[in-house]
Structure 1
Amino acid sequence: MENTNVKGKVILIAGGGKNLGGLLSRDFAARGAKLAIHYNSESSRVDAEKTLADVRDSGTEGFLFQGDLTNISNITRFFDETLAHFGGIDIAINTVGKVLKKPFGDTTEAEYDSMSDINAKVAYFFIQEAGKKLNDGGKICTIVTSLLAAYTGLYSTYAGMKAPVEHFTRAASKEFGPRGISVTAVAPGPMDTPFFYGQESAEAVAYHKSASALSGLTDIQDIAPLVEFLVTDGWWITGQTIFANGGYTTR
């Protein structure tokens, strides 16, 4: 059985400045981990700086990395700068994603390409870089979506571009397993964050709230402990996508 205490370990989080990523950064810092926190652009700088301040207030170390990860060289730089800061990486978590809710027939090629880049390409090369640069016994986790198990229209590019991550996870877990590296994905239901509301009408929000068996949207407070478990005590779970949505889907 592994030592699953994160005190002193280095945790790299893509999208770690706000929402679920920010909560994970603060939770891990409170447990004594060192944090490498990515944010995408100037629009999220203030949130990321607040998260970093909270991390440091916890008495641990952290730094910020800004970059558009669809430029794959920025993924490489993020890992390399983390290695330069801390000398190693133990856990890598990718919370990056983009939602598009649009009829199949109205989706443009540019929208398709953007959704593919953000939701699939970034995930692939993030896992690839983690496999190259994590310490033996490391952990990798990617946030996907419970829409992977839903029978619905309008999310063809969002769910469709998150779907490959399930197999990326399986393949990477098989290839990295001999080094003790577990690889998982977590599929939340619609989360009560600004990431969700930008795409949805009031009527759609009401539907999503009513669709889960336990009623309501997914709270990031209910997802963070699951991610934290998978990259610590739950490391024996690997190659799997865990659906956590209060009964929004049956898978």
Structure 2
Amino acid sequence: MSNNTTPRVALVTGASGGIGRAVAARLGAEGMAVGVHYAGNRERAEATADAVNSAGGQSHLVSGDIADENAVSTMFDELESRYGGVDVVVHTAGIMLLSPLTELAFDDFDRMVRTNVRGAFVVSQQAARRVRDGGAIVNFSSSVVKLALPNYGAYAATKGAVDALTLILAKELRGRDITVNTVAPGPTATPLFLDGKSSEAVDAMKKMTPLERLGEPEDIAETVAHLAGPARWINGQIVYANGGII
């Protein structure tokens, strides 16, 4: 708890669906007040807010372009005004556009760099300035950085940048009692992952893990909840939440 009367406060970017929604709901179940960020689909964000409330937390919708430093600053302003401060930032927002390196359009590459790299930088910068001592910053990467799968080159490159940013920021926050970690999911049953993949491709992905299934958003949310709460001695790490995929 931040004090005797106020719950811990979290901001979850990309909370309107998939992993972001599961994370927001899980933090709500931990008793947190959750800033539910969305970029465009308010209806889906409202469904996430309902899930947070049903789980026992509080919710407040915030919207903005995560790559725009002014928009992100405004989101923090809103949460600080409403709840008094922010303790946890979970940055799940990102996009994935797959293509062989030789065929990827530069417009698509630039979109991923803006959202995945600049967005992570902007959110991490604001979080580092404004998260209360005793808090946690959790970024999102991907196990494909390590797996080096064909067609994932540009996407993996953007997530490799997030890995580097996280490891360095953890050291820069020395003395603040703020942990900084990255969660790197493996294949997870979300629209982002499943879109455009054949059933054969999905089955092949399932076989890559010893558990022979895809991850579920709730699997990832469990890892985030640990890093956001009791895991105070895990810091400056890339946590591979992927069921043992190698």
TM-score under structure 2 length normalisation: 0.93
> Are positions 1:210 and 2:201 aligned together?
no
Conservation of the 8 A alpha-carbon contact between 1:37 and 1:63 = yes
Match for residue 160 of structure 1? 157
Match for residue 26 of structure 2? 27
Conservation of the 8 A alpha-carbon contact between 1:100 and 1:199 = no
> Are positions 1:150 and 2:109 aligned together?
no
Indicate how the Cα distance of structure 1 residues 205 and 133 shifts in structure 2: closer, same or farther if over 3 A, else same.
same
* Aligned-partner Cα distance in 1 for 2:219–2:186: 11
Partner residue of 2:123 out of 118, 126, 150: 126
After superposition, the C-alpha distances for 1:101-125 in whole angstroms (9 at most, x for unaligned) are 1011111111111011111111111
Q: Which moved more, 1:115-124 or 1:28-37?
A: 28-37
Match for residue 167 of structure 2? 170
Shift of 1:226: 0.9
Structure 1 residues 46-57: aligned runs within 5 Å: 46-57=43-54
TM-score under structure 1 length normalisation: 0.91
After superposition, the C-alpha distances for 1:199-220 in whole angstroms (9 at most, x for unaligned) are 4233321211111121111111
After superposition, the C-alpha distances for 1:177-226 in whole angstroms (9 at most, x for unaligned) are 31101000011111101111114233321211111121111111211111
Shift of 1:246: 1.3
- What is the one-letter code of the residue matched to 1:97? G
* Aligned-partner Cα distance in 2 for 1:106–1:60: 45
Runs of at least 5 residues in structure 2 that lack an aligned partner in the other structure: none
Runs of 4+ in 1 over 6 A off after TM superposition: none
Conservation of the 8 A alpha-carbon contact between 1:212 and 1:246 = yes
Indicate how the Cα distance of structure 1 residues 9 and 211 shifts in structure 2: closer, same or farther if over 3 A, else same.
same
* Aligned-partner Cα distance in 2 for 1:58–1:35: 11
After superposition, the C-alpha distances for 1:53-111 in whole angstroms (9 at most, x for unaligned) are 23334554321012221223221111121111111111110011111110111111111
> Are positions 1:36 and 2:35 aligned together?
yes
Conservation of the 8 A alpha-carbon contact between 2:23 and 2:220 = no
Conservation of the 8 A alpha-carbon contact between 1:99 and 1:199 = no
Aligned length: 246
Partner residue of 1:96 out of 93, 97, 105: 93
Match for residue 243 of structure 2? 246
* Aligned-partner Cα distance in 1 for 2:31–2:148: 42
Conservation of the 8 A alpha-carbon contact between 2:181 and 2:235 = yes
Structure 1 residues 191-202: aligned runs within 5 Å: 191-202=188-199
| Superposition RMSD in Å | 2.1
Indicate how the Cα distance of structure 1 residues 154 and 9 shifts in structure 2: closer, same or farther if over 3 A, else same.
same
> Are positions 1:232 and 2:216 aligned together?
no
Secondary structure of the 2:175 match is: helix
